Amino acid sequence: MKTKVNVGIIGAGRIGRIHAENLIQRIRGTQVVAIADVMINSAQEVAQQLLIKQVTKDFNDIIHNEDIDAVIICSPTDTHTTIIKETAAAGKHIFCEKPIDLSIIKIKEALKVVEKAGIRLMVGFNRRFDPNFFKIRTMIKENKVGDLHLIRITSRDPEPPPPEYIKVSGGIFMDMAIHDFDMARYLVGNDVREVYAKGMVRIDPAIGDAGDYDTAITTLTFENQVICSIDNSRKAVYGYDQRVEAFGSGGMVSTDNTTIDNHYYLNENGRHAALPLHFFMDRYTQSYINEMQAFIDSIMNEKPLPVAGQDGLESVRIAQAAKISCQENRPVHMNEIGK
Amino acid sequence: MKTKVNVGIIGAGRIGRIHAENLIQRIRGTQVVAIADVMINSAQEVAQQLLIKQVTKDFNDIIHNEDIDAVIICSPTDTHTTIIKETAAAGKHIFCEKPIDLSIIKIKEALKVVEKAGIRLMVGFNRRFDPNFFKIRTMIKENKVGDLHLIRITSRDPEPPPPEYIKVSGGIFMDMAIHDFDMARYLVGNDVREVYAKGMVRIDPAIGDAGDYDTAITTLTFENQVICSIDNSRKAVYGYDQRVEAFGSGGMVSTDNTTIDNHYYLNENGRHAALPLHFFMDRYTQSYINEMQAFIDSIMNEKPLPVAGQDGLESVRIAQAAKISCQENRPVHMNEIGK
Amino acid sequence: MKTKVNVGIIGAGRIGRIHAENLIQRIRGTQVVAIADVMINSAQEVAQQLLIKQVTKDFNDIIHNEDIDAVIICSPTDTHTTIIKETAAAGKHIFCEKPIDLSIIKIKEALKVVEKAGIRLMVGFNRRFDPNFFKIRTMIKENKVGDLHLIRITSRDPEPPPPEYIKVSGGIFMDMAIHDFDMARYLVGNDVREVYAKGMVRIDPAIGDAGDYDTAITTLTFENQVICSIDNSRKAVYGYDQRVEAFGSGGMVSTDNTTIDNHYYLNENGRHAALPLHFFMDRYTQSYINEMQAFIDSIMNEKPLPVAGQDGLESVRIAQAAKISCQENRPVHMNEIGK
Amino acid sequence: MKTKVNVGIIGAGRIGRIHAENLIQRIRGTQVVAIADVMINSAQEVAQQLLIKQVTKDFNDIIHNEDIDAVIICSPTDTHTTIIKETAAAGKHIFCEKPIDLSIIKIKEALKVVEKAGIRLMVGFNRRFDPNFFKIRTMIKENKVGDLHLIRITSRDPEPPPPEYIKVSGGIFMDMAIHDFDMARYLVGNDVREVYAKGMVRIDPAIGDAGDYDTAITTLTFENQVICSIDNSRKAVYGYDQRVEAFGSGGMVSTDNTTIDNHYYLNENGRHAALPLHFFMDRYTQSYINEMQAFIDSIMNEKPLPVAGQDGLESVRIAQAAKISCQENRPVHMNEIGK
């Protein structure tokens, strides 16, 4: 067992800052040694605020820093596999934000390198570490739901991203629903056999012009006969809506959204209460802490990671199947999608 | 065991109609034979709608009708004890609306006549038969709450009655909180030792001019050391607010209000839901049916009534103690109030 | 405007009794003149309890009774269209339980006869009259949800029917989900363009042996681009689960289940509360009253019925599309299903 | 405006650590320069973990450290006034944990010294900074409740403190209900005129032997005619129960407990959900951060503190009135208690 895990962070954008702050202020057994960003100003700003010693433009400085045990990859998606392969070759453990890549071939290549190098790769599906969803998974494992029959997931964002982002995002399934596909796999503990997705453009024609959908319902059929329905919207005026329900022979477990506060108010017009926490930064605060602690603990104790590279691959495959299903209006078998 | 209980109803006002309709349409094992009201038109109207054969101005016609086994007294409060005594003398069972009377001496006289006559008298504390409160009482009895330590009751009306009614009502404690005093006794299953009440005039100065309060908090101390807090208001703009909580060594059981429907709506301004059912006619629909069924069943099976004449007396005594406590600003021991 | 609608009831089984009781005890402006059942004992029993004058084995006695204005058809499904056609020919208005028939051709024939006869036919989709779902529809109409994007329906029974019933039921889509298909159409206020359904046998292999499914997720795509997901299960151990959610550009409105009571209990093991009302007789009590009142009122005031024969046809068409979709594992366009 | 507030902490026990951690990790505009504790080991441990430079046994080292602008007093209650007076004399601002002292005379002396010194003293009534209670206060201020008529506070601990602590605690009113007395004053925005309290020993006779109560209901009457009921228990088996309700002419606002998670589970036995957060460390995490940020911000911006020394005095006076009321079984006017 190690006594401390030294980490380097690649990428000083929004998610890079969240991880940096958590690692420094809230995670036991770790130290942030260096941070890299091609936008050196961003890296410097974070380093100054959080007292990180090494700052660099070049991620290679981090990969080849002998003091560093593990690398947190928060750079743009299209740089992920390159960095993963070089980091793995340098013998360091990896935490990589989702999606690993939009290309299944590239992901598979990267995973091969990881495997050969014998290092550990964890993918940032933070929602698995949300206390509410974790509770549902725990209750399923404890057989409180009995044989699992149905999963329902509602996942709606408060605002669509800007159209220019939509174009490079890989689309609603790859960019947004990918979290829900992973959640479904996590809850069911099994692999998907078939995907049927129905997408619509209801919020903004510009999203359609960019070749994407903004509203969708996806049906997943699992190898173990569980069926799952996911509904997604890019815009819920009431904020971030993230709910999950698992139903089986023994009962049902659901989770409500977490609200801004717990007040309720009654006047002559009805009963009023607070909205859900507005977006992922508020809602998933604790899940980001928990996932990073799990990553550090796994490395320290040389135990398997709770989210593997394979999980990163599978979610991308499902997203691709969903996109094809939508475009061709037919159920898509997972065999059709490169494994 | 009887096979059918024939009843006569005295009083064709609002509550008389509720009982008449329930007895005819929803209660098993009974038949309404006659209805009386000094306002003969009211009695005729009800009789016509509900196909009641005998209609009369004179309640004696009901008391002395040989076909009648039981009498439902829904006439004004100041006529109750006279009718009770005569009905008891005629050997018929009695259901009497609350309060039995505003005078403790008159109530005691009436109860003596009832006792001598060997007939049964039930007082209309319908809330004991509300499914929610009944559930709380049941859970207390089943020891789910353990040793009972605290009771909290919230009881608020949507609108104050007209000032002219306030004057003859006996005041907020005798007219309104009396239900809550009975509820506390019902839940605790014990007698009150001491009362402290604090009353205010906050809603309408006319209520103060009539010598009454419109807002109050009452603390009841029971013989078995349970303490209970009751808050009353004559006007809640959001409707009828009727909640109860029991707390003890084993846990807590509470009941929410019943709402108009179960929808909830989220938009950019928050989460909205329906108001509580607006007043006692909506909220306690089922409790009126259940209490009348309990009355009829007890008579048919010759079993004790679930609410005795003594319960009617005790609630009036507590109301009187509360009024004195308020006026003299001191705790009042129940020994001070005629037994 | 008529002053009274005289009705005859055909079928004295479970649902026939519910309607009889409601018509006699709770519906204004009507009188039950006769009841028919081939099981004459059943009809006699109901007639005796509810004081219905005419009792007969032969439904023709009802159809040709000159005193009768409207006929309530509660007989087995396979007799519906025959009775509808003869009743229509006799010039009487009709309330018919769902489904009208399992055969689209037969339904269309019956609707033609109804149209020619110029009488009114209402189909018993009682859930439209549930106060909770009615509230959701009202809020959609009032534009509270804005442009409607998504509908989610959860509909689970406490117990599967016996296998012998399954065989003649038409299957889970025709027998059970048909209510949800109508609910979706009611909420969206539009017609379905395409259906995709995924069915599984997870509860009882005997259901599979009977050629049916017991667990299903159906995706409906409406002409106006609303997409809807419905999940069904024949067995929820916690009772009857009936929830609906509508989401759009202006917000979301959902409805919770109605529970047995409103208590909640906290002890060292958590917070506990009551189950949903156990089955349709408890849950939809009010909806049966409301739908029958709507039927009687429409006839009295010579106004259009709230659920038309065409609604009965459409729900059967969707059920058939769902069945084909499941069997052939492909989305089914409604053009494929006889109109 | 200052750009940074340097603080020293006196007392390295449980609450001292909470404040140290928050100041260092979560509060903007401040630096912890030193920590003192007569138990030097405790101070050293905290200093080491949190990288605080100066550690001392003697609080005078902190008071006279020229780099320090403000002092956080977390030492035992009986040392508070001495330290307050010396800190004030040294011209430093003060944050002091509640209660300031058990003696009203000593508190008044200390407040005089503070006033003369012209420095700021804030008392640690952290619950005012809980987002839920803050929301209620905000809504009252925004006139959402209209004229305030009633306040209800439920405040129950998961476990009584050890009997030896009970003896020196000042009793349930001074030690526990004091938070609720301050909450009532905070919500009402007015002073108490009269107190009536009823105390019982129901949980542990040892608490009675120590001259204290473990269960109580207190009625507060405010100068502005608001009446308030507070119920306290030293032991709720389901954890920490902290609820508040404000009722007035415009409506009602309440707050529920915050729960461990938001799941709910239905099986054949009912609906189950998570318990409230177990104790003050979990429940009031955010309130401790918010109150310390408010303290630092007030000093930096030279603005009035949100909780004044006078608030600390008033809550102790109410606690004393409650104790006398209980012992003498009579309402106690606040004029009776030294001002």
Residue C45 CA to residue C31 CA, distance in Å, equals 18
Task: Give chain B positions within 8 Å (CB) of C254.
Answer: 263-265
Sequence-distant (≥ 6) Cβ neighbours of residue B51 within 8 angstroms: B24
Question: Would you say residue B2 has pLDDT above 80?
Answer: no
Inter-chain residue contact D273 with C273, CB threshold 8 Å: yes
How many of the other CB atoms lie within 10 Å of CB of C159?
14
pLDDT tens for each residue of C113-137: 999 999 999 999 999 999 999 999 9
pLDDT tens for each residue of B80-139: 999 999 999 999 999 999 999 999 999 999 999 999 999 999 999 999 999 999 999 999
- For helices B40-50 and B14-25, angle between their N-to-C axes, nearest 10 degrees: 20
Q: Is C214 in contact with C203 (CB distance < 8 Å)?
A: yes
Confidence of residue C339 (pLDDT cuts 50, 70, 90): low
Mean pLDDT score across all residues of chain D = 95
Confidence of residue B294 (pLDDT cuts 50, 70, 90): very high
Residue D144 CA to residue B159 CA, distance in Å, equals 19
Task: Give chain B positions within 8 Å (CB) of A259.
Answer: 271
Q: Which residue reads 């001074």 in tokens?
A: D174
Tell me the shortest Cα–Cα distance from C182 to chain D, in angstroms: 27
How many of the other CB atoms lie within 10 Å of CB of A139?
18
Inter-chain residue contact C149 with A236, CB threshold 8 Å: no
**Helix, strand or coil for residue C198?**
strand
Inter-chain residue contact D238 with C273, CB threshold 8 Å: no
- Dihedral through CA C129, CA C133, CA C136, CA C137, nearest 10? -40
Read off the tokens for A80.
Answer: 């992920």
Residue C62 CA to residue C79 CA, distance in Å, equals 15
Inter-chain residue contact B152 with D231, CB threshold 8 Å: yes
Inter-chain residue contact D249 with B233, CB threshold 8 Å: no
Question: Would you say residue C2 has pLDDT above 90?
Answer: no
Question: Would you say residue A131 has pLDDT above 80?
Answer: yes
**Helix, strand or coil for residue A62?**
helix
Q: On the CB side of D262, how many CA atoms lie within 13 Å of its CA?
A: 18
**3-state SS string over chain B?**
CCCCEEEEEECCCHHHHHHHHHHHHCCCCEEEEEEECCCHHHHHHHHHHHCCCEEECCHHHHHCCCCCCEEEECCCHHHHHHHHHHHHHCCCEEEECCCCCCCHHHHHHHHHHHHHHCCCEEECCHHHHCHHHHHHHHHHHCCCCCCEEEEEEEEECCCCCCHHHHHHHCCHHHHHHHHHHHHHHHHHCCCEEEEEEEEECCCCHHHHHCCCCCEEEEEEEECCCCEEEEEEECCCCCCCEEEEEEEECCEEEEECCCECCCEEEEECCEEEECCECCCHHHHCHHHHHHHHHHHHHHHHCCCCCCCCHHHHHHHHHHHHHHHHHHHHCCCEEHHHCCC
Per-residue pLDDT at C177: 97
pLDDT tens for each residue of D49-78: 998 999 999 999 999 999 999 999 999 999
Q: What average pLDDT does this structure show over D187-200?
A: 98
Cα B196–chain centre separation: 22
**Helix, strand or coil for residue A68?**
coil
Read off the tokens for D182.
Answer: 């301050």
Residue B128 CA to residue B111 CA, distance in Å, equals 21
Q: Which residue reads 């101005």 in tokens?
A: B57
Q: What average pLDDT does this structure show over A138-144?
A: 97
Read off the tokens for D267.
Answer: 């099986």
Higher pLDDT, D41 or B338: D41
Residue B172 CA to residue B170 CA, distance in Å, equals 7
Q: What average pLDDT does this structure show over C299-309?
A: 91
Q: Is A111 in contact with A310 (CB distance < 8 Å)?
A: yes
Read off the tokens for B205.
Answer: 């100065």
Cis link prior to A162 (omega < 30° from 0)? no
Q: Which of A170, A150, A157 is nearest to A219 (CA)?
A: A150
CA angle D316, D319, D323 (to 5 degrees): 140
Tell me the shortest Cα–Cα distance from B11 to chain C, in angstroms: 23
Task: State the distance between the two ends of chain D, measured CA to CA, in whole angstroms.
Answer: 35
Per-residue pLDDT at B339: 66
Question: Would you say residue C280 has pLDDT above 90?
Answer: no
Q: Which residue reads 């009122």 in tokens?
A: C297
DSSP, res A174: I
* pTM of the shown model: 0.95
Task: Give chain A positions within 8 Å (CB) of C229.
Answer: 152, 217, 219, 229, 231
Q: Which residue reads 């459409």 in tokens?
A: C314
Q: Which of A183, A187, A180 is nearest to A138 (CA)?
A: A187
Q: What average pLDDT does this structure show over A244-259?
A: 97
Confidence of residue D338 (pLDDT cuts 50, 70, 90): confident
Task: Give chain C positions within 8 Å (CB) of A233.
Answer: 149-150, 247
Residue D261 CA to residue A255 CA, distance in Å, equals 8
- Which of C154, C217, C252 has the CB atom closest to A238's CB atom? C252
Report for B215-229, D165-179, D277-291: range of highest mean pLDDT: B215-229
Mean pLDDT score across all residues of chain B = 95
Q: Which residue reads 């409160």 in tokens?
A: B133
Task: Give chain C positions within 8 Å (CB) of A150.
Answer: 215, 217, 231, 233
Residue C226 main-chain phi, psi, to 5 deg: -70, 140
Chains touching chain B, criterion 3+ CB pairs below 8 Å: A, C, D
pLDDT tens for each residue of B198-233: 999 999 999 999 999 999 999 999 999 999 999 999
Inter-chain residue contact C229 with A227, CB threshold 8 Å: no
Length of chain D, in residues: 339
Inter-chain residue contact A252 with D266, CB threshold 8 Å: yes
Per-residue pLDDT at D339: 66
Residue C179 CA to residue C307 CA, distance in Å, equals 13
pLDDT tens for each residue of A100-115: 999 999 999 999 999 9
Q: Is C254 in contact with C233 (CB distance < 8 Å)?
A: no
Q: Is A289 in contact with A21 (CB distance < 8 Å)?
A: no
Per-residue pLDDT at B279: 87
CA distances from A239 to A180, C142, C151, C243 (A): 17, 22, 18, 22
Per-residue pLDDT at A26: 87
Q: What average pLDDT does this structure show over B293-313?
A: 93
Residue D52 CA to residue D35 CA, distance in Å, equals 7
Sequence-distant (≥ 6) Cβ neighbours of residue B58 within 8 angstroms: B36
Which one of A154, A238, A258, A269 makes the best mutation probe of the B interface by having the most chain B beta carbons within 10 Å? Answer: A238
pLDDT tens for each residue of A47-84: 998 989 999 999 999 999 999 999 999 999 999 999 99
Q: What average pLDDT does this structure show over C237-244?
A: 97
The interface pTM score, or ipTM, of the predicted complex is 0.94
Read off the tokens for C108.
Answer: 């269309």
CA distances from C252 to A154, C147, C149, C152, D208 (A): 12, 11, 10, 11, 54
Task: Give chain B positions within 8 Å (CB) of D216.
Answer: 227
Confidence of residue A339 (pLDDT cuts 50, 70, 90): low
pLDDT tens for each residue of C13-30: 999 999 999 999 889 899
Sequence-distant (≥ 6) Cβ neighbours of residue C74 within 8 angstroms: C9, C10, C11, C12, C13, C15, C16, C19, C97
CA distances from C77 to A186, C174, D183 (A): 44, 11, 65
Which one of C245, C247, C271, C335 makes the best mutation probe of the A interface by having the most chain A beta carbons within 10 Å? Answer: C247
Per-residue pLDDT at B323: 97
Q: Which of C102, C148, C129 is nearest to C249 (CA)?
A: C148
pLDDT tens for each residue of C41-66: 999 999 998 989 999 999 999 999 99
The strand pairing partners of C96, in sequence order, are: C73, C123
CA distances from C71 to A157, C59, C103, C117 (A): 51, 10, 22, 15
Question: Would you say residue D242 has pLDDT above 70?
Answer: yes
Task: Give chain C positions within 8 Å (CB) of B260.
Answer: 131
Residue D129 CA to residue C103 CA, distance in Å, equals 66
pLDDT tens for each residue of C326-335: 999 999 999 9
DSSP, res A278: S
Tell me the shortest Cα–Cα distance from D133 to chain C, in angstroms: 22
Burial of A41: CB neighbours in 10 Å, binned 0-12, 13-18, 19+: exposed
Mean pLDDT score across all residues of chain A = 95
Per-residue pLDDT at A281: 83
Residue D254 CA to residue D268 CA, distance in Å, equals 31
Task: Give chain C positions within 8 Å (CB) of A146.
Answer: 237
- Which of D131, D263, D268 has the CB atom closest to A261's CB atom? D131
Q: Residue D241's closest chain B neighbor by CA?
A: B252
Q: Which of D179, D184, D72 is nearest to D127 (CA)?
A: D179
